[in-house]
Amino acid sequence: MNVKQELSFFSLIEERKSVRKYDPTVSISKEELIEILEAAGKAPSAWNLQHWHFVIIQGKEAQQRLLPIAYNQQQIVDASAVVAVLGDLKANENTDLVYNPLVEQGFMTQEIKETLANQIAQAYKNKQYARDAAFSNASLAAMQLMLAAKAKGWDTCPIGGFDTEQFVKQFNISDRYVPVMLITIGKAAAPAHKSLRLPVTKLTTWVE
C-alpha cells in the first residue's frame, strides 16, 4: 500500500466542500474542463454502459439563461462554468459501442458479448429500471467529477434545486436524457458553510 497516495486521497475528501460563493473574475479553460470530464467518465457503471451525458454551460450569456431556471442562485453566474449532469435513459443503446471493440481486440468473446447484450435488453424493457439506472450511475460520475475538480484546485457545488422541465426546454435536451443535477465549478470567493456529518454508527447496520 502506498501510504502517501492514501493520505493524499483522504485529504482530498476532507478538503472538498460545497462552495456557493465564487470569484466571478476567474475563468476555467475548455482544456481543463475536458480533463476533469475525462476523469469523471472513468466512474464505474452498470455493464459499463456509462449512463451519463454532460452539458457544459459556460459564458455569462449562457449562465444568465440558466439563472432563473436554478431559482436565481447567484453561484450560477459567478461560477466559472456549470456542468449539467444528465442520466441516459437509453444507455442500452451503447451496448455495441462498448463491447464491439473488446470483441475485435480479443478481450471478449462474441458469445459473452451476446449474453451481456441479452441481459441488458431484458433489463431495459423495464422503464423504471432505466430511470433508476440513469440516476444512480450518472451520480457516480458526478461525484467523481467533483473530486477530480478538487484535485486540480477547483471548487464545486452540486445543485438539485432547479426546474428540470424548463432546463430541458431552454437547452433543447433530448428526451433520451433526464437531468440529474447541476454542478457549479470555479474558485471560492468565501469559505464553504460549516457542516457536520452524522457519526457513522448512525448510518450503518452490521449484519453477521
Centroid of chain to Cα 182: 9
Give the pLDDT of residue 194: 83
pLDDT of the residue at 17: 95
- pTM to 2 decimal places: 0.94
Q: What is the pLDDT of residue 4?
A: 61
Structure confidence at residue 52 (pLDDT): 98
**Considering only CA atoms, which of 181, 160, 192, 141 is closest in space to residue 14?**
192
User: How does pLDDT run across 156-188, given as a tens digit for each residue?
Assistant: 999 999 999 999 999 999 999 999 999 999 999
- Please give the angle made by the CA atoms of 186, 168 and 31, to the nearest 5 degrees: 35
Give the domains, in start order, of the chain with CATH numbers: 15-202 (3.40.109.10)
State the CB neighbour count (10 A cutoff) for residue 191. 9
Instruction: Please report the pLDDT score of residue 191 as a whole number.
Output: 86
Residues 108 and 96: beta-carbon distance below 8 Å:
no
SS (H, E, C) 50-82: CCEEEEEECCHHHHHHHCHHHCCCCHHHHCCEE
Report the pLDDT value the prediction gives residue 195, as an integer from 0 to 100: 86
Of residues 71, 81, 40, 37, the one with CA closest to residue 164 = 71
Residue 165 CA to residue 69 CA, distance in Å, equals: 9
DSSP 89-139: TTGGGGHHHHHHHHHHTTSS-HHHHHHHHHHHHHHTT-HHHHHHHHHHHHH
Residues of the chain with confidence (pLDDT) below 50 = 1
Q: How far apart are CA 172 and CA 39, in angstroms?
A: 26
Strand order, beta sheet including 155-159: 52-57, 81-88, 177-186, 155-159
